[in-house]
Amino acid sequence: MLEQLLIFTRGGLILWTCKELGNALRGSPIDTLIRSCLLEERSGAPSYNYDASGASYTLKWTFHNELGLVFVAVYQRILNLLYVDDLLAMVKQEFSEIYDPKRTSYNDFDDIFQQLKKEAESRAEEMKKSKQVGKPVNNNLGKKQGQVLKGYVDGSNKKNSGGESENGGGDGDKLKGHLLENGNFNKNNVVNGEFPRMVNANGKENGSSNVGAFDVNKLQKIRGKGGKKTDTSVNKGSKAEPKKKVVKKNRVWNDSPSEPKLDFTDPVSENGEDNIAIVAADQGESMMDKEEIISSESESEEEDTGKKSKVETKKKGWFSSMFQSIAGKANLEKADLEPALKALKDRLMTKNVAEEIAEKLCESVAASLEGKKLASFTRISSTVQAAMEEALVRILTPRRSIDILRDVHAAQEQGKPYVVVFVGVNGVGKSTNLAKVAYWLQQHKIKVMMAACDTFRSGAVEQLRTHARRLQIPIFEKGYEKDPAIVAKEAIQEASRNGSEVVLVDTAGRMQDNEPLMRALSKLIYVNSPDLILFVGEALVGNDAVDQLSKFNQKLADLSPSPDPRLIDGILLTKFDTIDDKVGAALSMVYISGSPVMFVGCGQSYTDLKKLNVKSIVKTLLQ
């Protein structure tokens, strides 16, 4: 049963809703659809699933781009209604004929909707009946053949029941399981009017074999031989004495006794700290506080290249393009947009955008342009590019405030430290960029403390301790082989005692498929409830960015004991100075997670941390 059907404008004004349906929806599926799908350029998807407490809905929609209308249907996911797509298309066609921008009430559309709904339901029923016409014949054939095969296999089992060897009777059972479990004979082979060849219990064919066909009997013989060999090997192995596991011994250098553990973090000597030179913390102003200025020379170069490309395109079919640009086009169709969208997709992929993301973006742009009227003196390619530019700016612009300094002061007023956890895969630069963030916070007179919660990688604590000495920042450490969740909890307690305003928690690098380490990270987040979870990712990755972020969020949600698990809040993009114009990783990460890029690492010194310039990224992607 259809739960709800709404018609509203792109501005958010609801024009009509079905009063007879009038079912109270649990949660807010329409608002969630608008926020997480329509505004995030995911409108190219066929449907959207929404889960609420006690209900799960499927939402389908369509646009009338020329009039700026959105049609949304909501129904229970378990029902799988077949007529929703046809109903939306008919409602769109009928409503567009009576639509008037000055009207806000359409009560007369109720009767039209009921007729359209009955028509759509009757069409769906007719389609069901037409699909079920040929099913009884096939089922009868399948039943008859199943009886033949079953009787034959049972007969072969009865013949072998008198004197079964070690493998006797087992072949019959294997054959029966092979024929009946797969179900290929009951459906696929009978449809063509051919019964499968009869096979006796020993695996031999009755009748001539087809030349070139795959011989299942040989495979069964090979399996049988393999089974015998494994049985004999198991028996021999049971008689023989079990071999002792060989343990690798540590290498001894110069005949000196080896240390039991390479852990030098606990006994920290005073002399060692004095011998290490402390670099002055003031290395200049961080790039976070500098506004990035795009040079006018690059803009003029881009304009020149744009003019050259326009001249080249004019040379190619100038008459047809000139005529179309002057006359305009009635309504844009999907076939008209495909060449421009394909070129745009290829361009995005050359900029290191994941293929899946580029395809979804092009589908969303096509959905937003389909049906629109092309204005005079404009080309389809320029229209598509302008729509893509708007979509990219909308995606990369943060939907919420990312002012960490304001959040730090708000936490300070509540009398608790602001906790930031850095997570990510191995080798992306979490510890180095944590030190850059600490330096930037120091420039704003904020007391920072580091928490060494990477108790897994050798040298991680020493690395963070070196950064702390250079920046003259306190560090909380407990060495290796400790529970990182407990270390982080004690670090936060210590920060509350010594008056630190921000705690930067360093965690071990882990691959997204490593469940034990992901479980430990989920526990750390659940126990300490950090204010900000930053995913540190490389700007070098392409398609792997989608896999990393989606699986990180999925594991954090699945492994958390909380009913409302915390997910990634923001992204820190590293090694941005090594990619030239391949800036697509930023788009892929933001699109797949919905989290903004809060920091960009662009060098090896403490000052090399800056904000993401959205206009610059969009211009680079569309060059």
| 166-209 pLDDT per residue, tens | 444 444 444 344 444 444 444 444 444 444 444 444 444 444 44
Query: Which range among 312-321, 371-380, 580-589 shows the weakest confidence by mean pLDDT?
Result: 312-321
Helix (H) or strand (E) holding 180: helix 170-182
* Among the listed residues 513, 511, 523, the one whose alpha carbon sits nearest the alpha carbon of residue 483: 523
**Cα dihedral value 216, 221, 227, 228, nearest 10:** 170
b/e code 477-496 from CB counts within 10 Å (16+ = b): bbbbeeebbbbbbebbebbe
CA distances from 576 to 129, 270, 478, 602 (A): 59, 38, 33, 5
- Cα Rg of the chain (Å, integer): 33
Helix H, strand E, coil C: the string for 389-435 is: HHHHHHHHCCCCCCCHHHHHHHHHHCCCCEEEEEECCCCCCHHHHHH
pLDDT value at position 294? Answer: 53
Under the banding of pLDDT at 50, 70 and 90, the label for residue 571 is very high
C-alpha 33, offset from chain centre: 17
pLDDT at 380 over 70: yes
Tokens of 406: 């304001």
Under the banding of pLDDT at 50, 70 and 90, the label for residue 108 is confident
CA distances from 471 to 274, 283, 373, 400, 467 (A): 15, 10, 60, 31, 6
* 20-75 pLDDT, tens digit each: 666 678 788 888 888 778 777 677 777 888 887 778 888 888 888 888 889 998 98
What's the CA angle centered on 489, arms 434 and 534, to 5 degrees? Answer: 30
Predicted TM-score (pTM) of this structure:
0.63
For the chain, percent of residues with pLDDT exceeding 90: 24
SS3 455: coil
Query: What is the average pLDDT across 301-305?
Result: 44
Residue at token pair 């781009």: 65
CB 431 within 8 A of CB 452: no
pLDDT value at position 250? Answer: 64
CB 284 within 8 A of CB 440: no
